[in-house]
Each structure stands twice: as C-alpha cells, then as structure tokens.
Amino acid sequence: MNNNLGNVDAPNHVTGKSIYVDDIPVVQGTLYIKVFDSPVAHGIIKSIDFSKAEQLPGVVKIFSHKDVPGENQIGGIIPDEPLLADHEVHFQGQPILLIVAETEEAAEEATKHITIEIEPLPIIVNPREAFAKGNLLSPSRKFVKGNVADAFKQCKIYFEGQTESGGQEHLYLETQGAYALPLEGDCVKIYSSTQGPTAVQRTVARVLGVGMHRVEVDVTRLGGGFGGKEDQASGWAAMAAMVAYILKQPAKCIPHRMDDMRMTGKRNPYSSDYKIGLDEQYNIIAYEATYYQNGGAAADLSPAILERTLFHATNSYSIPPVKVIAHSCKTNVPPNTAFRGFGGPQGMFVIESAIDHAAKQLGVDAAIIQQKNLMDNGDEFPYGQIVTECEAKKCWDEAATKYELEKIKKEISAFNSCNSWLKKGFSLMPVCFGISFTNTMMNQARALVHVYTDGTVGVSTGAVEMGQGVNTKMMQVAAKNLGISIDNIKLETTNTTRVANTSPSAASATADLNCKAVEDACAQIMQRLRLMVSEIKELGDNIVVTIEDSAIFVDGVQSDLNWLTLVQQAFVRRINLSAKGHYATPLINFDKIKEKGHPFAYHVYGTALTMVTVDCIRGTYEIDSVQVVHDFGTSMNRPVDLGQVEGGIVQGIGWMTMEEVVYNASGKLLSNALSTYKIPDIYSVPKTLDVHFLNTDNNSLAILKSKAVGEPPLMYGIGAYFAIRNAVLAFNPGSTIKYEAPITPEKVLMGLYAK
C-alpha cells in the first residue's frame, strides 16, 4: 500500500470541480426556503401575522408548525426540540416560519413584512444559573473510582478552583443545507450536507409522518462538518423535505453564513470546579471535578457530550481515587452540539488547569507533575477500562528528547531575563483519547461492493467524506483487498437506500468502522473467486489465491488468469460479484447503571510541546512552535493523517486562544460574523509546526493498524493556553489571571497588569 498517497479528492477541490449541495444543478420549478426565526431568546408567541408577506410577488406559501404533516419534532437523543416553534420560543434564532418563494430574494424580502408579538420570559445564558434553578436537559452523570473523600482527608496538599472554557463556531466552509426532490408515491429524496444520513432520514420520516423507506438521503461530500453536522443537519433537511413533500416541487434550504452562525449550536461552553490533592513527591492522590455544561435550549447531542467529558476527565493521568460529576444545563442559546473532541477537550482543560494550579502553588514546572502521573499499562481508567498498549510515556519521553526540552527551558529563561517587554512561555500537553462511539450500539458499519464485468469496482458505505480523507482510505483498503489498482475503484455517494442504518461519521471512528466493512465485503467476493479458481484449475478447496497488481497467483505461483479474465469467468459462471460487508467493533461494552465497562476499542496518545511569545505592551502573542509526537499506529496514508493532525492543532489553538463566542444577557449572539468572530489564519498559525510520527505496531482494532486521527490532535491546542499563561506570569509573577479560555489578547493584556 502506498502510504504516501495523499487525498485523491485534492485536485478536484483545488480546481473547484468538487460538488457540494448548492452546486447540484437545479431542477425546473425549484423553490427557495428562508427561515423566519425568533428575534428574542425566551417568550410566549402571542400573535404572528404573515398574511401580507404571503401576498408578495414570488412568495408561494409560508409554513408554520401547524403545517407539519407528521410530528413537529427533531430532537435526536431526547424529543425536546420542535422543528418550528409552536407557542413558546427558547433561543434567538429558533425557526418559527418557513417562507417559500420562487427566488431567494423574494423570500428574503418577505421576512420584512412579518409581524410577531412575543411576551418575554426570563432569559438564562449561564449554565450555573440554569443549574441553580434546576433547569437540566438530561440526568446528571457521575463517574467514581475509589474513595475520594477518604483520600482528601489524608491529604495535606490540595488545591481548589474554577475554570471556564468557551464555545466554538464550527465554521465549516460549506454552510448547512439541503435540497429535496419530491418522488412518486409520497416519497422524497434529499441531498443533504450531513455527517449523519440516517439521522436525516429518521428525522425527515418523523416530520413527514411517513416510514423511513419513503425517504432517501444522498451525500456526496461536505465542505467540513467538525461535529456541527452530526445532528444539526437534520432540521434544514426536514424543512426542505416538508416543503417538497407538501408542494410537490423541489425545494432548497441553505442558510447564509450569518443565518447559520446565529441559528446553529456550537461547542458546549463549560464552567467547572476542581479539587486536586498531591503528596510531597507530586503524585496526584485524589481528583474531584464538577462540570456545568452549557447545553443551550434543547438536548441535541449534549447528553452524549457530557458523558465523553467524564471519560476524558483524567486525560493521560493515572489517579487512584477520582470523582467527577457532570450536569447538562438548559439555557436560552441555540442548542449546543458535537464539535471535534465531543466534550473531551472540555474535560481535559479542567485537569490541566488543576495541575497547573498545583504546580504554580508548589513552585515547580507543571511538566514535573504531568510526567510523574502519566498512566501506564495495567492502570485503570475511572470508568473501569484497563489501560493496555499505552503510549503515554513513550510519546512524552520522545517529545522531551527529540525537541530538547531541557535546552528549550534554558533558552526561554535566558530570553526572558534579557527581554523586558517580550516574554516567552512554553507548555507540554499530553493527550489520551478513546476511540469508539461511547454509545456501544453505534459502533457498527456496512459496505456494499459491486465488481462490474469490466473489472472496475464501486464501493458504497455509511461513511461521509467531509475533507478528512475517509474515501481515499476506503479506496486504499478495497484496492489492497482485491489486489487491484486504486484507479479501478470508485467511491459512491453515501446513500441511505444503498447502505442502511448508518452511524454518523463522527467519533474519529469512521475510517475504522467503514474500512473494516469494506474488508468484509471484499473478503466475501475473494472467497467466491478463490473457489471458482480451484474449480477451473481442478485443484482442491484449500488453494490460496492472491491477486497482486491484477495478476492472479495460485499457491504463490502466477497463473494465466488476471483480474479481468477472473471477473469475466465469474460472470459467465453466474457467480455473485457483489457483496454486503458488515462490521461491529468487538469487545466493547459499557454499563450506564454502574458507569463502568470497556467502552473504547483503543486509545490514541501523543504529547505536544508549545512555545509562544507574548508582547507585554500590547497583549498580543505569537505561537512560535508546536512540536508533537503523535501515535499514528502505522499510518496508511501519511499526508492525510498529517493534515488531520495539523488541522486539529490549529483548530484547538483557535478554540483556546482567539475564538470567542459571545452572547449578551438577552441571548443575542454578538460574535455573529467573521468580523467579530476570529479564527486562526495563515498569520496566526504556529511559525513552526512539527509532527513526529510515533510508529506503533500493536493495535489490531485500528484499520490496518492505522489509528484513528480525527479528533485527538485538537487537544494539543490546549497547550497554547498554558504556554501563553506562563509567558504572562513571566512578566507579572503575581498576576491573578484566571483559568478562563479563550485566552484572547484582551485577557492577556488584563492579565499582564492584574495585581
């Protein structure tokens, strides 16, 4: 296998040939949908008048919740979210009406002619305030290992504090959107920009009041998802489908950027309390934390995100007794949702803050405490899984040696002692991330492989390509298993009619799950071909048939057959050249009553070393370098995997440093455009970004031993927060700067001069 292949889609992306939802040629009669959304964050709808708007030229019809043919409900885990608001609104941007028009402009104009009267209700945007009032989205969760209370009783050195981590806008290049076509027999076909085609199918069927068999969802690719389209694509698809279904005309629903930013949920902000206890040798002997998750106005995926926070509460550390509690708090902001890391980063920020707090109080480098407590084989996670194939220490040690940690420390203190207005800081950030959906049931996938009579191959799976390169990996796996060139393979769209009951492309697990299903389908076809060869050659059933570069080898000896003649022979002999593969991750389980089990197929490890320079007059900073040792397993596609690590790091740095989601007290999103919401650009990325491949060879549940790579690297970005904070303290050792992310230049400036 060529593990330097790269992403086969790249040439089409950069030449603009790749097709996204809004690029699909429109069918005659296509209608455009504009959503009329709530102007206030909480209230009772007293009256609404759209009679004038409906009379405007080009406006076809305006739909309210009364027009929903089935159930007015799009909640995924918990049914608590109407598609269109009925009598009450719960956040600014909540959809109330659908304006359907012949052009986008007519629909837009109509919004100005709608009058609505809403009686205001109290607005809560802060999760602790929601918790105090008992406003929870789902039952609270608690993971306990050992007896924390006893441990703290015996412990002389302990520290308590509070942390805040902010939201994060997904800012996928392609906004949300769907295009729905009516089909005969009360059926609809939907082109959707979704990570979860089956979630869209299920939600649309529910909203239309029809069986899932009447709804076909098709996905070519997404221009980015990052979790934002794991669940939240469903609403837009349901709107388009409802209009197409009722009016029997094609309908498109694609929000503009500012509509998307205002109406969709983001990464869940967290407010958390921690208590960490240590002994004199810097061993962590107890850890306790409580997380207040800002879930927004509906549950969405927040209950599952809450769970992953607990799974990653102790990051890469082995801590004897642990007690962590998480609350999902209901507030009047758009329902927050999945975002790369899925609650893991939020949990890791808290323990890293706790360790940093302890280190500062004890007068040592945080790295001393971090390194001392890294976990190892045989340790037990707070949720009961035993640590195996642990690479935590190996990654740390290799990062410290390779990037010359001791030398860096000396250079930084030399720099800081001869510069008054520029200060450098550094940090180490170890990461341990569990691979598998925490909901065991979701860890399954299927693939449909067709071999055509000319030897070419079509592959369909449940995986959604969103830039992460999963299609390339599946082509590599099919090519390897069939012994043919990747040029003979086409990755088909992800379609619910071809491959049913799919899990969303999420949890870093998409390549593992779907490639394994492809392997299974290919193996079935190969088995049939092998038996055919034994028949043709009049050899026994035990022959070994291998295919390499389309040449057929029988028991290691090249035969006169090649791939094409083999396939043609099979067709003549009426042998099935198609197969459906299935994969379900073995071994995993989790008991939600006991909160114990073995939820993850394996873990991914790594360590990042981050160096920054802070301008102590302006509060601005530069990320000098991020140097990482990352556990790839045995990468099957190094350019693709490297891209995931680099992108993840930059996205993580963005979350921790500059991306600030701001709602005011009345629940209005102030950071509602790219002028007010800053994401990393070419000027703000690390000057040096070095990724060292730690090749580990011992994991059989990763596809071809090539470990999942989507989410783990995002958490290296947490290192940037601590590096900047350390530079601030180098300037002002008495600074009262709090553990609040993002650490924007504004916060840095205040911290530099805070007494």
Select from 32-40, 334-342, 554-562, 568-576 the region that touches ligand MOS (CB under 6 A). Answer: 334-342
Euclidean distance between CA atoms 352 and 739, whole angstroms:
10
Q: Which does 621 bind (CB under 5 to 8 A by kind): ligand LUZ, ligand MOS, none?
A: none
Euclidean distance between CA atoms 245 and 182, whole angstroms:
6
> Taking the complex as a whole, how short is the minimal distance between the CB of residue 219 and ligand MOS, in angstroms?
14
How far, in Å, are 63, 610, 623, 679, 750 from residue 687 at the CA level?
A: 51, 11, 7, 16, 25
Is the Cβ of residue 127 or residue 227 nearer to ligand MOS in the bound state?
A: 227
Euclidean distance between CA atoms 266 and 333, whole angstroms:
10
Per CB under 6 A, which of residues 225..284 are in contact with ligand LUZ? 230
Question: What is the contact mask toward ligand MOS in residues 194 to 223, using x (rule: CB under 6 A)?
Answer: -x----------------------------
Using CB under 6 A as the binding rule, whether residue 339 contacts ligand MOS is answered as yes
Using CB under 6 A as the binding rule, whether residue 340 contacts ligand MOS is answered as yes
> Taking the complex as a whole, how short is the minimal distance between the CB of residue 300 and ligand LUZ, in angstroms?
11
Token couple for 54? 């409906």
CB burial of residue 122 (10 Å; 0-12, 13-18, 19+)? exposed
What is the side-by-side order of every strand in the sheet holding 115-120?
88-89, 43-49, 115-120
The residue to which tokens 């960490």 are assigned:
276
> Taking the complex as a whole, how short is the minimal distance between the CB of residue 586 and ligand LUZ, in angstroms?
18
Is the Cβ of residue 230 or residue 641 nearer to ligand LUZ in the bound state?
A: 230
Q: Which does 660 bind (CB under 5 to 8 A by kind): ligand MOS, ligand LUZ, none?
A: none
Select from 359-367, 435-443, 563-571, 664-672 the region that touches ligand LUZ (CB under 6 A). Answer: 435-443
Cis amide prior to 742 (ω within 30 degrees): yes
Is 404 an active-site residue?
no
Is the Cβ of residue 508 or residue 735 nearer to ligand MOS in the bound state?
A: 508
Q: What are phi and psi of 81, to 5 degrees?
A: -135, 110
Q: Which does 126 bind (CB under 5 to 8 A by kind): ligand LUZ, ligand MOS, none?
A: none
* CA pseudo-torsion sign 267, 463, 73, 38: positive
Largest Cα–Cα distance of the chain, in whole Å? 88
How far, in Å, are 17, 294, 426 from residue 118 at the CA level?
A: 46, 25, 51
Q: Which does 192 bind (CB under 5 to 8 A by kind): ligand MOS, ligand LUZ, none?
A: none
> Taking the complex as a whole, how short is the minimal distance between the CB of residue 501 and ligand MOS, in angstroms?
18
Is the Cβ of residue 307 or residue 391 nearer to ligand LUZ in the bound state?
A: 307
Give the start-end residues of each E strand in 266-321. Answer: 270-278, 284-296
Select from 1-9, 256-264, 436-444, 474-482 the region that touches ligand LUZ (CB under 6 A). Answer: 436-444
CB burial of residue 24 (10 Å; 0-12, 13-18, 19+)? middle
Select from 88-96, 132-140, 282-290, 433-441 the region that touches ligand LUZ (CB under 6 A). Answer: 433-441
- Give the three-state DSSP class for 527: helix
Spatial contact of 737 and 614, defined as CB atoms under 8 Å apart: no
> Taking the complex as a whole, how short is the minimal distance between the CB of residue 230 and ligand MOS, in angstroms?
4
Euclidean distance between CA atoms 269 and 166, whole angstroms:
4
β-bridge pairing 43-49 and 545-548? unpaired
- Candidates 619, 662, 653, 627; CA nearest to 721 is 653
Q: Which does 437 bind (CB under 5 to 8 A by kind): ligand MOS, ligand LUZ, none?
A: ligand LUZ
Dihedral (Cα; 466, 268, 671, 76), 10-degree rounding: 60
Q: Which does 195 bind (CB under 5 to 8 A by kind): ligand MOS, ligand LUZ, none?
A: ligand MOS
Question: What is the contact mask toward ligand MOS in residues 341 to 370, using x (rule: CB under 6 A)?
Answer: -x----------------------------
Binder to ligand MOS among 169, 218, 230, 631 (CB under 6 A)? 230
Is the Cβ of residue 232 or residue 332 nearer to ligand MOS in the bound state?
A: 232
Using CB under 6 A as the binding rule, whether residue 34 contacts ligand MOS is answered as no
The total of other beta-carbon atoms located within 10 Å of residue 460's CB is 23
Using CB under 6 A as the binding rule, whether residue 656 contacts ligand LUZ is answered as no
Binder to ligand LUZ among 152, 437, 655, 722 (CB under 6 A)? 437
> Taking the complex as a whole, how short is the minimal distance between the CB of residue 600 and ligand LUZ, in angstroms?
9
Per CB under 6 A, which of residues 139..198 are in contact with ligand MOS? 195
Spatial contact of 282 and 364, defined as CB atoms under 8 Å apart: yes
Euclidean distance between CA atoms 271 and 291, whole angstroms:
6
Using CB under 6 A as the binding rule, whether residue 338 contacts ligand LUZ is answered as yes
Per CB under 6 A, which of residues 485..514 are in contact with ligand LUZ? 506-507
Question: Given 659, 711, 740, 746, which residue is catalytic?
Answer: 711
> Taking the complex as a whole, how short is the minimal distance between the CB of residue 195 and ligand LUZ, in angstroms?
9
Using CB under 6 A as the binding rule, whether residue 338 contacts ligand MOS is answered as yes
Question: Cα 290 from chain centroid?
Answer: 23
Token couple for 85? 């608001």
> Taking the complex as a whole, how short is the minimal distance between the CB of residue 709 and ligand MOS, in angstroms?
12
Euclidean distance between CA atoms 241 and 188, whole angstroms:
7
> Taking the complex as a whole, how short is the minimal distance between the CB of residue 648 and ligand MOS, in angstroms?
11
Question: Cα 714 from chain centroid?
Answer: 10
Is the Cβ of residue 182 or residue 712 nearer to ligand LUZ in the bound state?
A: 712
Using CB under 6 A as the binding rule, whether residue 342 contacts ligand LUZ is answered as yes
Select from 159-167, 431-439, 547-555, 716-724 the region that touches ligand LUZ (CB under 6 A). Answer: 431-439
Residues with Cβ within 8 Å of 450's Cβ and at least 6 positions away in sequence, in order, are 457, 458, 577, 578
The footprint of ligand MOS on this chain (CB under 6 A) covers a number of residues equal to 10
Using CB under 6 A as the binding rule, whether residue 506 contacts ligand MOS is answered as yes
Is the Cβ of residue 230 or residue 512 nearer to ligand MOS in the bound state?
A: 230
> Taking the complex as a whole, how short is the minimal distance between the CB of residue 216 and ligand LUZ, in angstroms?
23
β-bridge pairing 596-598 and 589-591? antiparallel
Residue type present at position 100: V
Packed helices 510-536 and 563-572: angle between N→C axes, nearest 10 degrees: 70
Using CB under 6 A as the binding rule, whether residue 308 contacts ligand LUZ is answered as yes
Binder to ligand LUZ among 304, 322, 552, 749 (CB under 6 A)? 304
Strand partners, 615: 422
The total of other beta-carbon atoms located within 10 Å of residue 549's CB is 9
Per CB under 6 A, which of residues 681..740 are in contact with ligand MOS? 711
Residue type present at position 423: K
Q: Which does 339 bind (CB under 5 to 8 A by kind): ligand LUZ, ligand MOS, none?
A: ligand MOS
Q: Which does 637 bind (CB under 5 to 8 A by kind): ligand MOS, ligand LUZ, none?
A: none
Q: What are phi and psi of 24, to 5 degrees?
A: -65, 125
Question: Cα 464 from chain centroid?
Answer: 13
How far, in Å, are 362, 383, 408, 719 from residue 405 at the CA level?
A: 21, 33, 5, 15
The total of other beta-carbon atoms located within 10 Å of residue 116's CB is 18
Question: Cα 564 from chain centroid?
Answer: 41
Question: What is the contact mask toward ligand LUZ in residues 211 to 230, using x (rule: CB under 6 A)?
Answer: -------------------x
> Taking the complex as a whole, how short is the minimal distance between the CB of residue 265 and ligand MOS, in angstroms?
12
> Taking the complex as a whole, how short is the minimal distance between the CB of residue 323 and ligand MOS, in angstroms?
26
Give contact residues for ligand MOS (rule: CB under 6 A): 195, 227, 230, 338-340, 342, 506-507, 711
Residues that bind ligand LUZ (CB under 6 A): 230, 304, 308, 338, 342, 437-439, 506-507
The catalytic residues are 711
